[in-house]
Structure 1
Amino acid sequence: MTELRLTLREMRLIIERIVQAAGVTPGLLFAARDAAVVSAVLPVAGFANLSTEIAALAASTAKPARLSEGEDGVLHVDVAGQHPWLVAEALLDLAVERFRLTGRGEVLARGAVSPREFGVVKGLAEKHGLAATCSATADGMLLQIRPRPAQAISLLDRIRYEGCTVEAGLWWPLYHASHAALAPDSFESRRHAGTIRVEADGRIIGRNDEDETDLAMLAADPSRLHPASIP
């Protein structure tokens, strides 16, 4: 079995493209991406089931959740059929707020597809300096906040320092799916890539200091290349 050691940056890059191609609302893109990364490496879904969860994410639509206060003092949230990656950050924020104000941060999530994916809060909560757990109950998934040991290394810091080891056969399908989400390579796409744009008439839009870029290959008639005046 061949294993690869991945950096946090390349996992985010590859998974972000796939999540974006799944149709996630732009304002939720980074939150869904980070939830997916945590799900893969904790693991919750793990790399083996990430494609299945991304398909479930693609079938989910962002919509308003319904909040109510339970008699037990737990905040109840009906997420109306959304995938947990779309709402995990928002529910975590609610739980953290209640924990800081009252010392008890508990949110009961109901109505989600793939409810086990709320388990990503364990990794997402670390940036708040807190720990989170998620457990199944008869009524839904209960998210609970508690203090985090001060000396404990976070999941993301561990990946930054050590990388993440994954079986090659699980990673390459994700890599190729990410590549397929990009615009096809063409003369047109090359002219609009990077920090500058080369128009069909040879005008250069943007900074003209690309010392290592041969702009002649981006124009049908290189002799017509000239910078445009852009404020």
Structure 2
Amino acid sequence: MKKKLAVTLTSVALVAAMAAVMGGQALAIEWHPSRTQSEVGVSESTTTTTTGTTITVTTPTGSQVQDTSAPVIQVTPVSETLAANAAVDAANPGATGDQLAGIATQSGLSYAANGQLNNLYNQVTSAESTEQLLAATAPAAAAEFQSAVGESANAYTPIALYDVAASPSAEAAIAQSGSVQVAISVPGVADGTQLVAVCWDRNGNSYLVPVRVVNGVVYLTVRASGPVMIMARVRVQG
């Protein structure tokens, strides 16, 4: 990280969780987006579209999402996409990303899909501010952030990075209904935590989506397969 921002997270529960990770610091903590590797989990194993299709929601199982005939959404944390592509790189020394793009990996995603999230992670960890990060990686989301959220992107910091991948039948169901709600767990998030989600599709198009927290569960609106970055509201210390 080129520059660290001292911040206080809006949710006291989130502050406590992050402070524990950082060695017991109290309210003033530093911005460490590298902690977006923290594991996200699935809180509800199914979700139902407005048109009545029930979709199974899971973390990686070893099966390839695109080869699954049943309607499935897989939630994959960045720690797993990083490890999966590292294994492919080690087995194919000298190969280019283009040559490896279509290879199925241990994450259940292709090398290219893993790479999309991994590239985002690299930019998150080297960014100097959230505004700079969004300008570089999510210009469409950046353009609407102030009007949609009501404040600068620098009021938020990344806390989770993961991929949401829908099987072909799940993609068809989501397209028919427009979106679907997926319930996930994000370390430290509790009721009262103010969250914003930036999503990307497989073509790199970015957009903001609604996020709500109920009983500590994060409900995200999913429109398409691709990376998701959850950001929490912070307060910059003088």
Q: TM-score range by the shorter chain?
A: under 0.3
Greater share of residues in strand = 2
Query: Which is helix-richer, 1 or 2?
Result: 1
- TM-score, normalised relative to structure 2: 0.25
Larger Rg computed on CA atoms: 1
